[in-house]
Structure 1
Amino acid sequence: MDRLKIALFQADLIWEQAADNRHKFTRLFESIAPGTDLIVLPEMFTTGFSMEPAKLAETMTGETVAWLQQQAAAMNTAITGSVIIEENRNFYNRLLWVFPNGTIRSYDKRHLFTLAGEEKVYTPGKEQLLVEYKGWKIMPLICYDLRFPVWSRNQFDYDLLLYVANFPDKRGMAWRTLLQARAIENQAYTIGLNRVGTDGNGAYYAGDSCLVNYDGKISQHLPPREMVAQFEIKKEEQATFRKKLAFLPDQDEFSIHGSIQRD
């Protein structure tokens, strides 16, 4: 499948209220166009970026996972975003990728945001995730991962690099610049989906969600308000660009600590 239709949900999250956020997204889902292939939700989309996992964490058999499966099946689309998950007495900032048939893949955030003390309450992930969906290879990552290019290095020939985030507006220049850098160095479509509004800690988020083309040009840039943005990306155009400017084969060879999850 050469084309992928994507809907980005740049939302103002309700602080630490999972049921209210699920209800909000259920209503927002009604606005998406038929035939959408992928819905992208922000980091910690049920709670905001909270450091209170002991009171907020769910399990992989909890309400949010069941809700994601129901919504994906009802709309016949994949849905992704991160939530707080407890597993084996550890808490994770976990990205869930839910296929229309209910199958779930997951990625635990590798780089925990030390400025907010995320590493004190969450356990870091050890594996990257490569999702194969409708002929596309997709690498989903979370927020602070954006600052560490080795972790997103395109040694897997992926087509789309995806970040879900709660990235404060005061670091907006870094957000946009790093998204463009990741797109350029990996010659891949790169999406950064951020939230809007002010969270329970007083941090302000301006959205700034972006689709960056494989050549580093921003083709979609969302304004600072809650909204749903829908667009289509084309793999053939990216393949032509990579063939014309074949930089990826010239990458240095080295290994990183971690492993890749494949289907």
Structure 2
Amino acid sequence: MQHDIAWNDPTANFARLAPRIERAVGGGADVVLLTETFSVGFGFDDPDFATEPEGGPSSQFLAASAGEHGVWVGGSCPEIRPDAAAADRRPSNCFVLAGPDGTQHRYRKIHPFSFAGEDRFVRPGTELVTVDVGGVRVSMFVCYDLRFADAFWQLAADTDVFLVPANWPEARREHWMTLLRARAIENQAYVVGVNRVGSGGGIDYSGDTRIVDPLGELLATGSREETIVFADVSTEHVAAVRDRFRFLDDRR
């Protein structure tokens, strides 16, 4: 779901996104992916930025939406881990994927975006995460992680779909679009990259949401406006591509 974000206003974003999630489900979605920091925008350097405890309002919104509609709903939000020391209360940029049965899976962004100072305000994650979503092996990454192929490689053999919510600036949109296809081609897996539109914190975002298949073919794209893009994924197609082109076997 390619959407704009009301800056540092979770309540407004929940109100805007709820009917869009309903629309996506009405269109046949089993998994609905929102953007990175979907509830507040990418403003970690703002001292008034709306960080939350783990299990706070943003993840509650994802879980409630998943339960209401009987689908999976995901996006990233700034969450402070319950085991965070008093001396370091930095949040994680946490991709929460909520299931219809009430389960919540968390991937904490391993590569903070140091170019914009995210590493000073965000605690990096340490663990890669793959989730079974209705028999589909789904691995979770966030935005800047896309530049680090080795992380994707580590999970490729056991992944059918990579999900990548983002706030990727328009200034480097060609990088975003190229890297999404590269990660799909080299890992022979689907890549779903969902980026925001609009402006926030003085940065413009062009969307360019992409769903890419294991051969690098574009199945669905978004441009510069709020939109919902749909595509079907097939574990059989992943297996067939890997069986025909046994490139993963040659990695060293």
| Same fold? TM cut 0.5 | yes
Does the CA contact (< 8 Å) of 1:107 and 1:127 recur in 2? yes
Q: Which has the higher helix share?
A: 2
| Aligned equivalents of 2:55, 2:146: Cα separation in 1 | 29
Give the structure 2 partner of residue 182 of structure 1: 183
Distance 1:67 1:53, change over 3 A: farther
Give the structure 2 partner of residue 222 of structure 1: 222
| Aligned equivalents of 2:2, 2:41: Cα separation in 1 | 13
Q: TM-score when scaled to structure 1?
A: 0.89
SS in 1 for 2:73: strand
Within-5 A mapping of 1:1-263: 9-34=1-26, 35-51=28-44, 52=46, 55-87=49-81, 88=84, 89-153=89-153, 154-199=155-200, 201-252=201-252
Percent identical: 33
Q: Which deviations, in whole Å up to 9, do the C-alpha atoms of 1:14-57 show, x marking residues without a partner?
A: 11101100111112122124452101000000011111366411
| Aligned equivalents of 1:31, 1:212: Cα separation in 2 | 22
| Aligned equivalents of 1:13, 1:246: Cα separation in 2 | 41
Q: Which has the higher strand share?
A: 1
SS in 1 for 2:139: strand
Q: Post-superposition, which runs of at least 4 consecutive aligned residues in structure 1 deviate over 6 A? A: none
Give the structure 2 partner of residue 256 of structure 1: none
Q: TM-score when scaled to structure 2?
A: 0.92
Distance 1:152 1:209, change over 3 A: same
SS in 1 for 2:41: coil
Does the CA contact (< 8 Å) of 2:166 and 2:194 recur in 1? yes
Q: Which deviations, in whole Å up to 9, do the C-alpha atoms of 1:167-207 show, x marking residues without a partner?
A: 011101111111111011100011110000011x2111110
Q: Which stretches in structure 2 are left out of the alignment for 5+ residues?
A: none
| Aligned equivalents of 2:62, 2:91: Cα separation in 1 | 20
Distance 1:46 1:33, change over 3 A: closer
Q: Which deviations, in whole Å up to 9, do the C-alpha atoms of 1:215-244 show, x marking residues without a partner?
A: 112221211101112221222222211111
| Aligned equivalents of 1:215, 1:61: Cα separation in 2 | 37
Does the CA contact (< 8 Å) of 2:94 and 2:106 recur in 1? yes
- Count of aligned residue pairs for this structure pair: 243
| Aligned equivalents of 1:189, 1:33: Cα separation in 2 | 20
Does the CA contact (< 8 Å) of 1:176 and 1:208 recur in 2? yes
Q: CA deviation at 1:155?
A: 4.4
Q: Which stretches in structure 1 are left out of the alignment for 5+ residues?
A: 1-8, 253-263
Does the CA contact (< 8 Å) of 2:211 and 2:218 recur in 1? yes
